[in-house]
Structure 1
Amino acid sequence: MGGQIILSHGSDSGPDATKVSVLAAFAESLGWKTQRPDYRSDDLPGYAGAVDPRVARLLAAIDGLDAPPVLVGSSMGAFVSGLASLQRPVAGLFLLATPSGIPGYRQEFDLSPSVPTLLYHGWQDDVCPPEGILAFASRRRLPLMMVDDDHRLGDSVERIVEQFGLFLAQLAPAA
């Protein structure tokens, strides 16, 4: 295997957050190169004000690579990963606890329809209620894993890693 992965943390989090750290370590053990941008300074203006600076930081990271990366994101990190896929080629999207919109932001969640994607969400998510991503996945006919967990997906980390491994394996020929 191999290739490059950019993992984007959620708001009120950082590049050393549990999920992105575990997924980065797992991917590296399979021979992937990873990077985790630090969006904490971008998040200071609040949720709606953080989107454009986060997207700009993510696009700069993509532009610094020699091949389209896999984008992994949690919550706000998932939202900006999807938006970035509309502007740059990416090899895949693995998105956790994705909001269908950011209150006050001009655009709803979207992603490039040509990119292999897996959405992962908790039924008990009270930050990003599941109805929005269920409707999005249904309209796009995207794979969506729903688990009995909350926004942090803390009880599902092992299952997320398993799904991530399967997702990366399907991308291996293109990576």
Structure 2
Amino acid sequence: MRGHVILSHGSDSSPDATKVSALAALAESLGWQTQRPDYGADDAHGFAGSVAPRVARLRAAIEALDVPPVLVGSSMGAFASALVSLAVPVAGLLLLATPPAIPGYAHALDLRRDVPTMLIHGWRDDVCPASDVQAFAAARRLPLLMLDDNHRLGASMPAIAAQFRLLLDTVAAAA
């Protein structure tokens, strides 16, 4: 086993969502263990109300592990993954379609700066404007891959998978 990956789906989605399922399969094919928490009950609290329960659920999953995991998140899953990285050790972050803020939630997006991180976002994202994530990445000098896609990033799975594989290789080499 090379390590552990926790994949967090977006709001009103599921652990069987297309992106997290495809990325879990890729990680497993490379010898990583994966976990996909179900945040469905948390999402019933609305966008702002779901952040704290998602963060708590993800933090508990991380604390149950022997090694810091790589976190992958899509949209609300990305927001929660980034926030969790401030509180517990993580080995890497892959953040997809990331909102820099959640309306009604007290804290803006933030993350540990010493963790290998890759942001991937769609130019045509109508949920999380591209300019917002560009500003976030620029202020922190984070790598950001902008793709000709929308919020779901459904047409970009090959590019996302390639970047994910690079992140996993980077984390494995540093271990």
- The TM tier, using the shorter chain, reads over 0.9
State the partner residue of 1:169. 169
State the partner residue of 2:114. 114
State the partner residue of 2:157. 157
State the partner residue of 1:61. 61
RMSD: 0.8
Given that residues 118 and 143 in structure 1 are in contact (C-alpha distance below 8 angstroms), is that contact kept between their aligned partners in structure 2?
A: yes
Distance 1:120 1:2 in 2: 24
Partner of 1:160, secondary structure, is helix
1:47 CA drift (Å): 0.1
Distance 1:165 1:84 in 2: 22
Distance 2:107 2:160 in 1: 28
State the partner residue of 2:43. 43
Q: Mark the runs of 5 or more structure 2 residues left unpaired by the alignment.
A: none
1:87 CA drift (Å): 0.2
> Within the alignment, does 1:77 sit opposite 2:71 as a pair?
no
1:75 CA drift (Å): 0.2
TM-score for the superposition, normalised by structure 1? 0.98
Structure 1 residues 3-36: Cα deviation after superposition (integer angstroms, max 9, x where no partner)? 0000000001000000000000000000000000
State the partner residue of 1:90. 90
Distance 1:50 1:144 in 2: 26
1:103 CA drift (Å): 0.3
What pairs up with 1:6-21 in 2 under 5 angstroms? 6-21=6-21
Amino acid at match of 2:133: I
Structure 1 residues 101-154: Cα deviation after superposition (integer angstroms, max 9, x where no partner)? 000000000001111100000000001111111001000000000000000000
Partner of 2:125, secondary structure, is coil
Q: Mark the runs of 5 or more structure 1 residues left unpaired by the alignment.
A: none
Over 2 Å off, 4+ runs: none
State the partner residue of 1:134. 134
Distance 2:2 2:23 in 1: 14
- Count of aligned residue pairs for this structure pair: 175
Amino acid at match of 1:2: R
Distance 2:47 2:87 in 1: 21
> Within the alignment, does 1:100 sit opposite 2:118 as a pair?
no
Given that residues 24 and 34 in structure 1 are in contact (C-alpha distance below 8 angstroms), is that contact kept between their aligned partners in structure 2?
A: yes
State the partner residue of 1:123. 123
1:173 CA drift (Å): 2.0
1:174 CA drift (Å): 2.9
1:85 CA drift (Å): 0.1
TM-score for the superposition, normalised by structure 2? 0.98
